[in-house]
Amino acid sequence: MNTLIALPAFNEKKDIGLIISQIKKYDLDILVIDDGSTDGTQEQLSKIDDINTIAHEENLGYGQTIVDAFKYGISNNYDNIVTMDCDGQHTPDEVQVFLTQIANYDIVSGSRYLIEDNKHDPNIPPDRYAINMEITRTLNKITKLNLTDAFCGFKAYKIGALKEMKLTENGYGMPLQLWIQAWKLELRIKEVPVKLIYNNASRSFSGELDEPAIRLSYYKEIIKREMNKDARNRVTV
């Protein structure tokens, strides 16, 4: 199977070289989507051989980096795509789990909370955990998908499934749009446990989304909006 691994990056100069070197042992094509970094990430990437890059001139948002990765995977005829963060919160040694499982599913999603003990880790930022759990419960009430982690970015997708989606959300709420569309399309979904790592518990969501109440409201609005769309209105990403 022809698999692409996609890394969204924003100001990741410090860690990105090491992460890519660890991924290369799996002999996968690598795509880095640099979302308007200002710390020299792009210069660092230019020194690394055998990778593909997309560079946004300005910061367009996490969701847009993933959508651009999907478009790249579709247009270059890959069979599967794996997405993972490159800030050290996802570990390349877990990529193999996704490569093994995706043969039997449309989406294989990492979960930091399939392991019960992880829920009590003192390093989890309380507001981020609380919002994740509330949104995950909301999704499960609607979809009966029985998810445990709505926001983990470590995922594998079949490109054929992505062709059925219309993903337009460019912010951090894009995964919620994806989950609702996946449910409407009756895709085969599996969660797999991944390590719980928080290297930067104080990470900014930028602007007003740093306020938990506003962030929660934003997420709920995406779910509401997506639920009001006709599932039959499908176009490619």
Domain segments of the chain: what residues? Answer: 3-227
Contact (CB, 8 A) for 135 and 226 = no
Q: What are the residues facing 55 on neighbouring strands? A: 34
Which 3 state secondary structure label does DSSP give 40? coil
**How far apart are alpha carbons 144 and 137 in whole angstroms?**
10
Q: Specify the pairing of strand 29-35 against strand 107-111.
A: unpaired
The pLDDT of residue 89 is 76
Surface-to-core class of residue 208, CB atoms within 10 Å of its CB (0-12 exposed, 13-18 middle, 19+ buried)? exposed
74 Cβ neighbours under 8 A, 6+ residues apart: 159, 162, 163, 236, 237
Per the document, the length of the chain is 237
Q: The pTM is what?
A: 0.91
Q: Where are the beta strands (DSSP E) in the chain?
A: 3-9, 29-35, 52-56, 80-83, 107-111, 155-158, 189-193
Homologous superfamily of the 3-227 domain (CATH): Spore Coat Polysaccharide Biosynthesis Protein SpsA; Chain A (3.90.550.10)
Closest CA to 165 of 173, 154, 174: 174
Exposure string for 83-107, b = 16+ CB within 10 A, e = fewer: bbbbbbbbebeebebbbebbeebbb
**Cα 4 to Cα 101, 161, 187, distances in angstroms:** 15, 15, 20
**Per-residue DSSP letter, 163:** T
Question: Helix and strand tally (H, E) in the chain?
Answer: 8, 7
Which 3 state secondary structure label does DSSP give 225? helix
One-letter amino acid at 199 equals N
Q: Could you list the pLDDT tens digit for every one of the 237 residues in the chain?
A: 799 999 999 999 988 999 999 999 888 999 999 999 999 999 999 999 999 999 999 999 999 999 999 999 999 999 999 999 887 678 888 999 999 999 999 999 999 999 888 888 888 889 999 999 999 999 999 999 999 999 999 999 999 999 999 999 999 999 999 999 999 999 999 999 998 876 555 566 778 888 999 999 999 999 999 999 865 444 333
50 Cβ neighbours under 8 A, 6+ residues apart: 24, 30
Exposure string for 34-56, b = 16+ CB within 10 A, e = fewer: bbbbeeebbebbeeeeebebbeb
